[in-house]
Chains A and B, each alone.
Chain A
Amino acid sequence: MTPRFQKILFVVLFVSSVAMTAVLVRLRERAHDRLLQGDQTQGTSAPAVAPLEEVTMMVADDMTSTLAPETIALPLPDEPQARARSLLNRLLSQYSNAHSMHPLPTTTNPVEAVFLMPLSKTAPSHAGSVRDAAQSEDRIAIVNLSNPFAALHPSGLETETLTVLSICATLHANLPQVTEVRFLVGGEQQATLHGHADLTQTYLTAASAAASGAQP
């Protein structure tokens, strides 16, 4: 017959394993929510004491279908993902100014989060070659745009394309380690920005920097 202390021990262990399972499931859900919301993990602005830094915005012009570099001074957080997010929110917010040449409606925090991830060393590059160790600093930026930003963005091939290219080129100009960019909208993959610009593709940033003459 099983001794009484063993029965008690079994019950205690069983109850604690169930409790631990519940805690783990809850923690996983919270981590997933944090990842999707992004703004809970990335500061929305630089600390008040952050010094001003010169950054290059690659600004779109609908009349000429071009991007032009514009240097401004901004306080930016140190953490690269938060930096990228602050930079892009500043870029996109300036498009709602009265004299913008690429007018977009005002939305709060159009970029919810930017995730910078190392690129696999063996992933084929755009040139078809295999990345070597020297390129292992390369990062892919996953830019999570807000649902209102995508929903209110003007619909059209040129305007949507310019927004995507302006984001890619601005990232490359200020974070040269970013060589590829992918987009999410509200944490999910979406076919297009607002009916036109393809958001299922990986965009390569190198071509834009080379041709625009914007040196980071």
Chain B
Amino acid sequence: MAASLSAGCGVGAAAQTAAQTAAPSETLPLRHFTVVLDAAHGGNDPGAWLGAGDSPSPETQSAMAEKAVTLAMSQRLRALLVARGFTVIETRQSDVALDEDARATVANHAQAGACIVLHATEAGSGVHLFVSSLSPAQPQLLLPWKTAQATRVAESLKLGGTLNSALSTAGRDGESSLAIPTTLGRTTLPGIDSMTCPAVAVEVAPLRENAHGGTGKVTSAVDDADYQTRVLNALAAALLAWRSEAAAP
């Protein structure tokens, strides 16, 4: 029997201290529905090296830094969301270094209805969604900074489910063969764990042939324009559905 990733090792509550506090955000009316897009990595943190076969490295000329791919995805998704009437805040709009606290600070000030952290990788296939592994907690006036996400983790799981179903049915014109293989897991996510919005990390991996072995041949690279468009359109559609859900009484 397979164990879902979400059922993996939990994280010790003892390790999470309340050095800072964060104010919980409220559910906001539709016209103010804000989405925070966090392009992971940046500056002196390139993230993974992508697009140069199965063992990419900075020495490989064709390798792309993950930080550039996530920034490009953030900008494209922003355009799609603005066109759908969302207010969008990006944690970074250029190649700058940001620590996890700075990202969470931007997200928490925005009082966002959804926070999406974008990653890209060469490992695995399709899209990997991750929600914080913190146990749900009741909202309080002042929240421990390192575990503020605990009060929104139930909503984050729902948002993860909405993104999962949109990506899994992302075939163009009803072609189910074009659905994007998507997994939803839970883990400790230092940036997200401090966010007071429903938050999901979205990691885009190449599409691979479903061959034996995790190194099945890549059929669409992470920077493949058509593949990225399908992923980003599915994310935008999921956020529309999420906004409608939030607006429902």
Q: A residues touching B (Cβ–Cβ < 8 Å)?
A: 58, 61-69, 98-103, 105, 123-124, 126, 128, 154-159, 161-162, 164-165, 168-169, 180-181, 194-198, 200-208, 210-214
Which of A67, A156, A195, A197 interacts with B45 by CB under 8 Å?
A195
Which of A98, A99, A158 interacts with B124 by CB under 8 Å?
A158
Which of B1, B9, B16 interacts with A203 by CB under 8 Å?
B9
Q: In this complex, which of B4, B9, B54, B205 has the most chain A Cβ atoms within 10 angstroms of its Cβ?
A: B9
Known contacts A67-B3, A156-B48, A195-B48: A201-B125 contact under CB 8 Å = no
Known contacts A100-B213, A208-B9: A169-B14 contact under CB 8 Å = no
Known contacts A99-B212, A157-B130, A165-B8: A66-B2 contact under CB 8 Å = yes
A158 & B121 in contact (Cβ 8 Å cutoff): yes
Known contacts A62-B214, A101-B214, A126-B12: A157-B121 contact under CB 8 Å = yes
A123-B14 Cα distance, complex, nearest whole Å: 8
A213 & B3 in contact (Cβ 8 Å cutoff): yes
State how many angstroms separate the Cβ of A145 from the closest Cβ of chain B. Answer: 15
B213 & A205 in contact (Cβ 8 Å cutoff): no
From B78-86, B104-112, B148-156, B180-188, the one touching the partner chain is B180-188
Q: Which residues of A contact B188 (CB under 8 A)?
A: 198, 201
A62 & B3 in contact (Cβ 8 Å cutoff): no
A21-B128 Cα distance, complex, nearest whole Å: 57
Query: Which residues between 195 and 248 of chain B lie within 8 Å of chain A, taking CB atoms?
Result: 201, 203, 205, 208, 210, 212-216
State how many angstroms separate the Cβ of B240 from the closest Cβ of chain A. Answer: 25
Q: Which residues of A contact B43 (CB under 8 A)?
A: none
B213 & A212 in contact (Cβ 8 Å cutoff): no
State how many angstroms separate the Cβ of A162 from the closest Cβ of chain B. Answer: 7
Q: Which residues of B contact A168 (CB under 8 A)?
A: 8-9
A204-B16 Cα distance, complex, nearest whole Å: 13
A194-B47 Cα distance, complex, nearest whole Å: 8
Q: List 24 A-B contacts (CB under 8 A).
A: A62-B123, A62-B124, A65-B124, A67-B8, A100-B214, A102-B214, A103-B213, A105-B55, A128-B13, A155-B49, A156-B119, A158-B123, A158-B183, A159-B123, A161-B187, A165-B187, A168-B8, A169-B9, A198-B190, A200-B190, A202-B12, A203-B9, A212-B2, A212-B3
Closest to A97 in B: B213
Closest to A102 in B: B214
B124 & A207 in contact (Cβ 8 Å cutoff): no
A207-B186 Cα distance, complex, nearest whole Å: 12
Closest to A181 in B: B9
Count A-B contacts at CB 8 Å: 169
A212 & B15 in contact (Cβ 8 Å cutoff): no
Question: Beyond A67-B8, A156-B123: 18 further Cβ-contacts under 8 Å?
Answer: A62-B124, A65-B124, A66-B5, A99-B212, A103-B54, A103-B215, A154-B48, A156-B205, A158-B5, A158-B121, A159-B123, A161-B8, A168-B9, A169-B3, A195-B45, A202-B12, A208-B3, A210-B7
Q: B residues touching A (Cβ–Cβ < 8 Å)?
A: 1-5, 7-16, 41, 45, 47-49, 54-55, 66, 119, 121-125, 128, 130, 181, 183-185, 187-190, 201, 203, 205, 208, 210, 212-216
Which of B55, B122, B190 interacts with A156 by CB under 8 Å?
B122
Closest to A95 in B: B214
Q: In this complex, which of A105, A157, A181, A210 has the most chain B Cβ atoms within 10 angstroms of its Cβ?
A: A157
Closest to B212 in A: A99
State how many angstroms separate the Cβ of B119 from the closest Cβ of chain A. Answer: 5
A157 & B128 in contact (Cβ 8 Å cutoff): yes
Closest to A165 in B: B8
Which of B3, B49, B130 interacts with A161 by CB under 8 Å?
B130
Q: Which residues of B contact A68 (CB under 8 A)?
A: 1-3
